[in-house]
Amino acid sequence: MLQTVQKLGPVLDLFTIDHPEWGVSEVADTIGVPRSSAHALLSSLVEIGLLQCRTRGRYRIGWRIVELGETLRGAVDVRSAAAPVLQELVDRYGETSHLAVMERYKVLYVDKIVGNHMINVVGARIGAQLDAHCSAVGKVLLAHRDPEEIRRFVTDKPLRRLTPSTITNPRALEQELEAVRRAGCAFDLAEAVQEVHCVAAPVRDDLGAVVAAVSMTVPETRFAPARNEFRRAVIGTAAEVSKRIAAASGPTPALSVVRDDPTGLPVAVGT
């Protein structure tokens, strides 16, 4: 049973915006299993509603996915809590901002508001999944995961280089994540896209667990002179989103607030 469940994940991963429909033979060839096994896996996913079988033996995502998505929204509606706060951030600075979560150690972008400057960064599209080690939101989300899990799922395999600035050394990434935990924010300095810089901060639920990250994505020429201001703004935005999530979840202890310590780094203190 466990082996079957583990094989279902790679099948679901095949269904993307760019390739929404698959046939049995295509699935078998892509994931490297016999055609009979691919058919059995696809049939199992159809039975539980995660896939639907269309004409000519073609498969697409099923409507059960929508139901599960609504269940998730009802449980922790991070996106709704974040949307107005992200809009305020973009209205104030005019820079593209993102909300992202972590899905199987990949960054999943769940919301985005595009900036309004003449020269702007469009940023990742909603629904895109990207490597975590080379983005500010990814570093924030990784920094609050178990180190053993990070080694197992991230640093035990080659870290893909996207630009000359991408961190590809596992030890260097571990040190970077430790710095992120201390600072309460993360930077991407042209590590995913050349000449594009980002800063991100963690969003926490009512129990204090990191459930998402917000970021601001800026052309390098505008980012450098305003780096500290952008850092403070993103940390404040993440704190406000966290506050709204906690309020929606019912009475909780007061959230922490951010101040500067003598080193100039933001630290959390009780209120």
For the ranges 4-18, 151-165, 166-180, the lowest mean pLDDT is seen at 4-18
% of the chain with per-residue pLDDT over 70? 86
Q: From CA 229, how far away is CA 246, in angstroms rounded?
A: 26
Residue 70 has pLDDT above 70, yes or no: no
CA 172 to chain centre: 21
Residue 243 has pLDDT above 70, yes or no: yes
At a CB cut-off of 8 Å and minimum separation 6, what does 127 contact? 17, 108, 109, 110
pLDDT given for residue 255 in this prediction: 45
- Averaged pLDDT score across all residues of the chain: 86
pLDDT given for residue 1 in this prediction: 47
The whole model's pTM is what? 0.69
Q: Is 47 exposed, middle or buried (0-12, 13-18, 19+ CB in 10 A)?
A: exposed
pLDDT given for residue 157 in this prediction: 87
Q: From CA 247, how far away is CA 205, in angstroms rounded?
A: 10
Residue 183 has pLDDT above 70, yes or no: yes
Q: Which domains does the chain have, with CATH numbers?
A: 2-67 (1.10.10.10), 76-266 (3.30.450.40)
Please compute, for residue 171, the number of CA atoms within 13 A of its CA located in the half-sphere on the CB side.
0
Q: What band does 263 get if pLDDT is binned at 50, 70 and 90?
A: very low
For the ranges 69-78, 140-149, 176-185, the lowest mean pLDDT is seen at 69-78
Residue with tokens 């199992």: 44
The whole-number average pLDDT for the span 239-263 is 66
Q: From CA 90, how far away is CA 104, in angstroms rounded?
A: 29
pLDDT given for residue 73 in this prediction: 55
Under 8 Å between Cβ of 95 and 119: no
In the structure encoding, which two tokens stand for residue 173, read together? 């990434």
Task: Kindly tell me the sign of the dihedral angle through the C-alpha atoms of 41, 44, 49, 52.
Answer: positive
